[in-house]
Structure 1
């Protein structure tokens, strides 16, 4: 765990920001010796959110498999992904 006093952000925002970006993990800020806030770089937050979305989708898929849902063949899955990637490229 990475713990810093809240004064570290007030006294040197640029240094604290650099620390968060280099650390690439959440930092717990304390206030009067007690945990108060959790701070992280935007990129770290985006990756955390992506992991959470993926985990949610995997839980849904596991439930579907447990309930007997029909599975797709590997080639069909890959073709679907390729189509979606190509469509995304064409829209940009």
Structure 2
């Protein structure tokens, strides 16, 4: 169940909300005039989330390369890497 607090709560209970965000890896949703306005999370949770997005992006790029045939045999790639290391 998502945690939802008002922007007034954020102002009055910042430390409590900050502690919650650090203890749980889920965001706290902040409302303004009764409507969702912000999602607040710890910097650790944010960094983990952005790392996942980067990983998913790299996986998608690899899957797109496979779909378009932009690949080569593993042995050929390794031979290229080894030849570059010798230079």
Report the TM range for the smaller structure's normalisation: 0.7 to 0.9
Uncovered stretches (5+) of structure 2, i.e. residues with no partner: 79-87
Distance of aligned partners of 1:8 and 1:70 in 2 relative to their CA distance in 1, 3 Å threshold: same
TM-score normalised by length of structure 1: 0.72
Uncovered stretches (5+) of structure 1, i.e. residues with no partner: 77-92
1:70 matched to which residue of 2? 72
TM-score normalised by length of structure 2: 0.75
CA RMSD of aligned residues (A): 1.5
Distance of aligned partners of 1:39 and 1:71 in 2 relative to their CA distance in 1, 3 Å threshold: farther
Q: Post-superposition, which runs of at least 4 consecutive aligned residues in structure 1 deviate over 6 A?
A: none
